[in-house]
Structure 1
Amino acid sequence: MDKLLNSSWFVKIIAFLLALMMYTIVTMETQEEAANRSIFSKMYTESETIQDVEITPYFDEKQYVLTDLPSSVDITLTGSSRLITKATKVDKEVEAYIDLTNEDPGNKRVKVNVRGLPEGVKAKVKPEYVDVILHKKVTKEMPVNVDLKNTRKLPEGYTAGDVEFSPKSVKVTGPEGMINQISFITGFVDVGDADEPIRTKVPLRAYNQQGDLIDVQVSPETAEVSVPIKKPKKTVPISIRTSGELEEGLSIASITSDPNEITLTGTTTSLDKYDSFKEISIDLSKIKKDTTLTVDVPVPDGIESVSVKEVSVSIDVEDEEVTRTFEDVPLTLLGTTDEKKATILDPEDGAVDVTVKGKKSTLDLLQKSDLEGILDVSQLEEGTHEVKIDWKNPADIDLTDTVQEASVEIQTETSSQ
């Protein structure tokens, strides 16, 4: 035994066997630990799908507009439950994005990338690729219009006035092709059932010639709008009423007003009662001559307002025509000579009652002596004749009903001998 222990070969063999045994033991322990780790990993690794994750596009927004981008994707995360919980519930930094920063305009198929994940978590995107269009951005200034909706639904008699709005123009920004399709920029105001003026803000939208909405950016997005709502109105003639009486001898020649019409505002039912406006009255007992008065216009019950607050009323008066009789007005013979005599047979006594007609002011100044009936016999021969009476009277006096002829007998000196 001592010889074996003193032998170098024996010691080398023993050392080799010991080393081999140690290697085997270590190798067996490593494989067992690896197996244990694999089992542990399988026990604590899971998957979770985040649905409807919005896609964030990155591109030069000053020069381009992106269209046709899907609104979202689904992302399936794989990793330990702890890390997945950290990503979805704690950090909340998971982002789906596409990168077009170095792309030119046109149709693109780009990969959807994911970032914001903790180390050790893998992500799978569905769909993995999306198709988009990168357009050249165009901005154009265009006029604005505001249209009214449901005007037929306004209350009876109500109407919408001229619309006032601001701004009058806006800037529209979007893909060049879409901008070229825009026909008009319009906002809409619903006036149905409105009985008071409308002041509101309305969104402004772009439309093509067919009236289809075009999805572009409008700036500003809204317009301030004012719509006057006009209440029922009716225009009727003014009819002046009178009270009291003119003094004796005067009569009304005319009564006129300026204006001669008035516009009433109120409900349809109240307006239906008016064919003329008879709410203005004049006291004739105070009128002595042609007069012009300024009269306040009352607002009748049931009427909300009138178009004028006062009117000018002109009253023109004239003398009344009266009749007066002057008795025994003598007739005057004209054309008699010493050789030619004339006798009035009828009317007896050579005088008639004269009835005159005219304005009272004129007749008040008329005297009996102002009336003269002349019988011209200068051309008559001997005998009895019916002679027309030539009445000499002041102007503006009517003698129509007065005797117009007289019976005259002519005698000559020869016949008397």
Structure 2
Amino acid sequence: MDKLLNSSWFVKIIAFLLALMMYTIVTMETQEEEANRSIFSKMYTESETIQDVQINPYFDDDKYVLTDLPSSVDLTLTGSSRLITKATKVDKEFEVYIDLTNMKPGNKRVKVQVQGLPEGVKAKVKPEYVDVILHNKVTREMNVNVDLKNTRKLPEGYTAGDVEFSPKTVNVTGAEGMIDQISFITGFVDVGDAEEPIQTKVPLRAYNQQGDLIDVQINPGVVDVSVPIKKPKKTVPISIGTNGELEEGLSLQSITSDPSEITLTGTTTSLDKFESYNEISIDLSKIKKDTTLTVDVPVPDGIDAISVKEVTVNVNVEKVESDTDADIEEEITRTFNDVPLTLLGINDEKQATILDPADGVVDVTVKGKKSVIDSLDKSDLQGIVDVSDLEQGTHEVKIDWKNPGDIDLTDAVQEASVEIQTETSSQ
């Protein structure tokens, strides 16, 4: 036995057998572990479907525009729950994509791919392929327009003025075919209920001839817009008042103004208070002879603006006898036949017809000093019928008689029956 132990061959054989035995034991344990691991893996493998996963397209977006790409796909992941949780809840590094790099324009059917999943997780995409179109990208300069909406909802009497906006042109970028379809580029400003000027920024959109939106990039995408909102206006006659008295020996013949009308701007409520403008008064004590004055026109309370800043006032006087007989000058009465009434407030869009008195003329009886009456002409008598605020239909309107001087109207018609016709009603 000692000889065997001392033999090198014997020792080598024993060592080889021990090594072979150890290898067999380790191999059997490894196979058993792998089998157990395989069974364990099969027992804990699961699937999870993630819906509406966005597709990221890869292409040369400096040259091309991609259309018809589905907004999302469904992705089913298969693997251990630990790895699926790691991919979807922890790492979140996976990506669903299509690769169109180095492709030319045209219709393409491409495979939907997934990357960034942990090893051991398999992915299935539904649908597996998508159909897309790759277009040439072009940029063109195009004109811009701004339109108003809800103009009928403006407060009564208010109107929108001409729209000012900037810029007038923009650069439009998109698929060549879509650019060719563009009919107009516009933005919209809502003026409903506006009582003050509008300053705003308006987004722009591109539309085809049928009014459908075109999906393109607009640069800049907004314009600065200014919309003036004009307040209601009303035109009324100017009535010149007096204060003080003429010196002895003078008699007032007439007071007239040029212009004879004024346009007031304000709210409808404020304008309703004015049938005439009587904010100007002349001091008769300063009048010594026929006089022409330039008078500033004040803005009445409640009115925002007036059409004129000054008017010319003509004051006509006449010298009278200073002796006792002259002072007791005889008063006489005289009738002027067929004095025409004057219509105020008609225009191209509104016409008026006086139904009564017939033919729009009346007989007017005046009373005053003989010298005054003798110098009076029919044209000096003026009966104004103001239809500015009247709408279509028949109306009874008060006649505003303008007294030309020191006379009394003793028998003058006070109302006229007027029929209003607007441009719309006559069509």
The amino acid of 1:184's aligned partner reads F
Quick check: 1:72 aligned with 2:68? no
For 1:163, the equivalent position in structure 2 comes to: 163
Quick check: 1:313 aligned with 2:313? yes
For 1:48, the equivalent position in structure 2 comes to: 48
> How much does 1:205 deviate?
0.6
Distance 1:169 1:21 in 2: 89
For 2:279, the equivalent position in structure 1 comes to: 279
Uncovered stretches (5+) of structure 1, i.e. residues with no partner:
1-16, 326-356, 360-417
Distance 2:280 2:92 in 1: 82
For 1:4, the equivalent position in structure 2 comes to: none
> How much does 1:257 deviate?
2.8
Deviations, residues 89-123 of structure 1 (Å, cap 9, x unaligned)? 22211111111111111111001111121222221
> How much does 1:273 deviate?
3.3
Deviations, residues 148-177 of structure 1 (Å, cap 9, x unaligned)? 101001111111111111111111111111
For 1:84, the equivalent position in structure 2 comes to: 84
Distance 2:314 2:82 in 1: 101
Matched residue pairs, number?
316
Distance 2:192 2:20 in 1: 100
3-state SS of the aligned residue for 1:77? strand
The amino acid of 2:243's aligned partner reads S
The answer to which of 149-158 and 111-120 deviates more is 111-120
Distance 1:282 1:91 in 2: 92
Deviations, residues 223-253 of structure 1 (Å, cap 9, x unaligned)? 1111111111112221211223322333345
Cα separation, partners in 2 of 1:27 and 1:58, compared to 1, 3 Å = closer
Distance 1:126 1:29 in 2: 42
Quick check: 1:121 aligned with 2:121? yes
Cα separation, partners in 2 of 1:320 and 1:140, compared to 1, 3 Å = farther
RMSD: 3.1
| % identity of equivalent residues | 83
> How much does 1:315 deviate?
2.3
Q: Is the 8 A contact 1:236 1:275 kept in 2?
A: yes
Q: Is the 8 A contact 1:321 1:358 kept in 2?
A: no
For 1:373, the equivalent position in structure 2 comes to: none
3-state SS of the aligned residue for 1:60? coil
The amino acid of 2:241's aligned partner reads R
Q: TM-score, normalised by structure 1?
A: 0.68
The answer to which of 151-160 and 227-236 deviates more is 227-236
The amino acid of 2:94's aligned partner reads V
For 1:96, the equivalent position in structure 2 comes to: 96
Quick check: 1:230 aligned with 2:230? yes
Q: TM-score, normalised by structure 2?
A: 0.67
Distance 1:310 1:358 in 2: 33
Give the alignment of 1:16-415 within 5 angstroms: 29=29, 31-320=31-320
Cα separation, partners in 2 of 1:65 and 1:242, compared to 1, 3 Å = same
The amino acid of 1:64's aligned partner reads Y
Deviations, residues 116-152 of structure 1 (Å, cap 9, x unaligned)? 2122222111111100011111211111111110100
Distance 1:239 1:27 in 2: 123
Distance 1:74 1:202 in 2: 38
Q: Rg: which structure is higher?
A: 1
> How much does 1:314 deviate?
3.1
> How much does 1:38 deviate?
1.3
> How much does 1:68 deviate?
0.3
Deviations, residues 69-99 of structure 1 (Å, cap 9, x unaligned)? 0011111122222222221122211111111
Q: Is the 8 A contact 1:323 1:358 kept in 2?
A: no
3-state SS of the aligned residue for 1:188? strand
Uncovered stretches (5+) of structure 2, i.e. residues with no partner:
1-16, 326-369, 373-427
> How much does 1:30 deviate?
5.1
Deviations, residues 335-393 of structure 1 (Å, cap 9, x unaligned)? xxxxxxxxxxxxxxxxxxxxxx999xxxxxxxxxxxxxxxxxxxxxxxxxxxxxxxxxx
For 1:400, the equivalent position in structure 2 comes to: none
Cα separation, partners in 2 of 1:49 and 1:270, compared to 1, 3 Å = same
> How much does 1:189 deviate?
0.6
> How much does 1:28 deviate?
5.5
3-state SS of the aligned residue for 1:89? helix
